[in-house]
Amino acid sequence: MRKLKKVRDLWQDIMEVQEIRDVFTGQPVKKKKYDIDHFIPWSFVMNDELWNLMPMDASLNSSKSNRLPKWNPFFQNFAQNQYLMYQIIYDDMGIYLGRTRIISKR
């Protein structure tokens, strides 16, 4: 099993300061009820790169299977989440370097 704890911790910290929307539903991700999953299924890219790992509703994770997502309905949320994640990492480098907590709460 691939270990995604650091990625989950990163997204958890991000959700402390910024609302994140589920890529597939557009609804806010609930802090205690989400999984980290691949936007493009692991079976297609076979890696756990940060750009492809997203928080999503835990109930949807098991139902989405290994199919490629349709691009148009989901890309906007995917891109927005990625932008927010990298913006926060850039603004608060400590969140990603060494996995320290965010110091400056927004």
Answer whether residue 26 shows pLDDT above 80. Answer: yes
Q: Write out the two tokens for 38.
A: 């691949």
Answer whether residue 35 shows pLDDT above 80. Answer: yes
Q: Do 81 and 54 contact (CB within 8 A), yes or no?
A: yes
pLDDT at 98: 54
Answer whether residue 20 shows pLDDT above 90. Answer: yes
Mean pLDDT across the stretch 73-87? 91
Answer whether residue 57 shows pLDDT above 70. Answer: yes
Q: Write out the two tokens for 65.
A: 């299977």
pLDDT at 4: 85
pLDDT at 95: 54
pLDDT at 102: 45
CB atoms closer than 10 angstroms to residue 54: 26
Mean per-residue pLDDT over the chain, rounded: 81
Say what the pTM is. 0.75
